[in-house]
Every structure is written in C-alpha cells, then in structure tokens.
Structure 1
C-alpha cells in the first residue's frame, strides 16, 4: 500500500499543477497536509472496528467539503475569502481535489481498497487491473469483470482489517510485543514519484519567490 509520504508526493504534484499562478509555499503546504489527513484513520482502527480505510477514506468526505466550499464561494460575502484572502476559495478547492482526493484517497482505492461510501454503504472497493493490446486476443482489460464468478462475501468493516504501524496485528487480541513497520517507500516507482514531487514543489516555490522580488 502507498505510504503517507507517497500520498503527500502525489498531492504535491497535482496541487502544483492545479494551483497555477496562485501557487505559493503556504498554499501547497495546505495541500500537502490534506494529502496526509486520510491516513490518520489508522489511529482510529483500534477504537472503531474497521475504521482504517473507512472513516477518512470515504469519498463522501471530499464531496461534502467540496460542496461546502462551492456554496461559500458563491456568496457575496464568502466567509473563507473574508478570513484568508481573495484566493482562499480557489486554494480550498484545490486542497480538496488535489490533496484530500487525488493524494489521500485515490492511491489507496487503486491499490488495496477503501470503504468508498462509508457510512452510507459498508463495502470496500478496489479499482485495480490491467489494460493491454494483444496480437491474438485484441483488447484485454481486467478492471471490469464481464463474466464474474460465483458471488463472494463483500469486504466490510466487520471482516476487513489492514496491518499498519500503529496496529500491526489487527485481528490479534493480546497486547504482546510486535514488530511495527512504518513504510516510507516500498518500490522504485514510489521513490521516483517522491523525488519528482519534491523537485516540482521546490522549483515552483523558488519561481514564486523570484517573481515577487
């Protein structure tokens, strides 16, 4: 699964692109923090059964926040703009889209699943597969199973747990010593992504400082 650092890296890349000429070190910092927020539900797992990948990974969270920001932005006297400046509504929208959604939630949806509609619907979903062109079979895709096998039990908060650094053995009841592993990068492509994001955000920050001189 992607580490929190990888989530932040993706949020940084998307945020740097979407902010455009409104990019500032403070704005991108808010986006980066938002990308790390969904992983905080790791610490809720011991308290809320199946809470990790559910409570802060639900797609309803960015949807509700996005609706709130949009509604506020349409007001003649926006509370967000009044408190944080004329670009605040735009930055808030980018924070939700680039940080919370693209950086924080979608990478987990594309790897080993999130409870996408929790708490309205309790089921973990994973968007994973392949798309390829074959000289013998033509177009081959496995994202959508067009000939599903016998229906299986869906993954829910009752039967799904994720091993994390804060809760390495979620099904284990005793409190004996366990190795706690907090992943940083677990593959070459993740290291590349982190490096590209760090370079992109650094260069954009430098360009912003130079332009203001």
Structure 2
C-alpha cells in the first residue's frame, strides 16, 4: 500500500516535469494537494469504509478541473489568474493532476479505491499485466472482457482499508499496532530517492 511519502514522491516528479516557474513554494502547493485524499482516513471514524472513498473518488479532481476551467476560460474575470497570475493557473492544474495520478492513482493499484463514490459505492483495484509474447501476441489482464467484476472489491459496507489512523473497522483494543509506512517495497524506496534527487537538482538550479 503506497504511503503518503510515496504519493508525494510521484507528485514531486510531476511538479518537476510540469511546473513552468519552479520553486519550493509551487512544489509545496502540489505536495499539499496530493496529501488531501489521504485525509479521508479520518472519515472511517464516521463513515464505515470512508477511507479510500470520501476523497479518493474521481469526482474530487474532476470537480476541481471543472471549477478551474470555468474560472479561467468562461468567467469574464478569473479569480485565480487575477490573484496568482498565469503561474497560479499552472500550479493549480499540476496540483489537480497530482491528486488524480499520485494521490488517487497510486492507491488504485495499491489496495483499491472507491472510484465513483458517492454516486456508485464500489471499490476497484487495478491489477494485471501487459506483455508481448511471441506465442500469444499482445496480452493484457487489466481488463477481462466478457468476465466482469474482477476489479471490483465490494462496497463501503464490505471493505475496510486499514491505516495507522484507523487499523480496523469499529472499536479497537488499546494495544492495537498502528503502522505508518514509509516504503514497503524496493520500487517505492527507489521512487522516493529518485524524486528527492530530481527535486533537489531542480531547486538547486533555480536558487
């Protein structure tokens, strides 16, 4: 399961690649936006199954994109552009992309998310492989046509995604172990190190 550090690592790479005016402040905005979906870990205390549902829904970044599009393309005077200029618009778009790909996307392949909550209450997990075989040709198992349901994991009534904040559904014993992961695999650690290196270089170049 990707940790908040891993989410921020991918978001940092997106920031380094997509921000025009690159500096620590702009990167910080992107990273803070990326962390927001993980705050729904607290929702589990109020809504069973709320973790990976309330703020991990695709409606979250889509709503942000719709509001930003309306503000910058339809309104006569854009609030974002008036207050933060074109730089602010760029940072906002990169933040929305980071939420979608680094905040929600990583969790979609790491345990699953409730993609369309609350319109449709169903957790999905993206798993499978895409390979080129000299015997079978191009083979993909991410989407199994004709079978259906392989990616579906259940609703908020059936699924609980544990976290250090809310390890188990319902009441927990006082001695319950709370784990706050940093890196749980080699690729996650490599992503963290790579992102740290890239951000450090970019910030050094713009000092």
**Partner of 2:96 in structure 1?**
96
1:167-178 residue pairs with structure 2 within 5 A? 167-170=166-169, 172-178=170-176
1:70-89 residue pairs with structure 2 within 5 A? 70-74=69-73, 75-89=75-89
Moved over 6 A (4+): 149-153
Q: Distance in 1 between matches of 2:43 and 2:23?
A: 33
**Partner of 1:63 in structure 2?**
62
Residues 61-110 of structure 1: CA deviation (Å, up to 9, x unaligned)? 0000111011111234211122223321121111111x211110000112
Q: Which moved more, 1:116-125 or 1:21-30?
A: 21-30
**Partner of 1:5 in structure 2?**
5
Q: Return the TM-score normalized by structure 1.
A: 0.89
Unaligned runs of 5+ in 1: none
**Partner of 2:39 in structure 1?**
40
Q: Distance in 2 between matches of 1:93 and 1:163?
A: 30
Q: CA deviation at 1:167?
A: 1.3
Q: CA deviation at 1:149?
A: 7.6
Q: Which moved more, 1:1-10 or 1:151-160?
A: 151-160
1:1-213 residue pairs with structure 2 within 5 A? 1-19=1-19, 21-74=20-73, 75-97=75-97, 99-148=98-147, 155-170=154-169, 172-209=170-207
C-alpha contact 2:40 2:55 (8 A) present in aligned 1: yes
Q: CA deviation at 1:141?
A: 1.6
Q: Distance in 1 between matches of 2:102 and 2:158?
A: 26
Q: Distance in 2 between matches of 1:174 and 1:93?
A: 40
Residues 154-194 of structure 1: CA deviation (Å, up to 9, x unaligned)? 51011000111111122x53543201111010011111100
RMSD: 2.0
Q: CA deviation at 1:51?
A: 0.5
Q: Distance in 1 between matches of 2:186 and 2:4?
A: 16
Q: Return the TM-score normalized by structure 2.
A: 0.92
Residues 102-123 of structure 1: CA deviation (Å, up to 9, x unaligned)? 1100001122211111111111
Residues 24-67 of structure 1: CA deviation (Å, up to 9, x unaligned)? 21111100111111111111111111110000100000000111
